[in-house]
Amino acid sequence: MQTDNEIILTATGLKKIEQELELLRTVHRKRVAERIRDSKQFGEFSENAEYEDAKMEQAFVEGRIEDLTKILMHAHVIEDDEVLTDRVGIGSIVKVRDLETSDEWEYTIVGSVEANPAEDKISNESPVGEALIGRKIGDLIQVEIPAGIAHYEVTGIRK
């Protein structure tokens, strides 16, 4: 069960976060520090747009490092053996059919940190994700989406 501070990640999501954090710490920090050092040659800091831009980038990089570190501190990784195939859960790949258009989609249900609709990764907290959690093959769901009310049938569940 998820606690208030717990962040649910799949093993793939954990790996992506760890890789991004490593890249920020080893590559981006160094690049930004070099930009700041190099921008000092452009004169007075108060009138130095390059310096200001580099400092803003530094703040973004450090903020992102802090965010990712907090995510990892509170992460609960869903292991492959915890991914359900008899009903929808986090980590499940769910095939649904729109009952009005007969269009079919596959969604991977992930925690909110990993959600990426462009990759068909939807959060368990999104309207569609929340409606799918706990459902079985053959179940019909009704969910409110921006375009109105959608009616779906769960047609497949896999890892």
Question: How confident is the model over 67-103, as pLDDT tens digits?
Answer: 999 999 999 999 888 888 899 999 999 999 999 999 9
Contact status, residue 120 vs residue 107, Cβ threshold 8 Å? yes
Name the domain boundary from 78, 97, 123.
78
Shared domain check, 105 and 63: no
Shared domain check, 131 and 114: yes
pTM of the complete model: 0.79
Shared domain check, 148 and 130: yes
Q: Which domain holds residue 136?
A: 81-158
Q: Is the dihedral of CA 25, 27, 30, 33 positive or negative?
A: negative
Is 105 contained in some domain? yes
Shared domain check, 147 and 85: yes
Is 72 contained in some domain? yes
List, in order, residues 6 or more apart from 11 with CB less than 8 Å away. 77, 78, 79, 80
- Helix%, strand%, coil% for the chain, nearest 5: 45, 25, 30
pLDDT at 43: 67
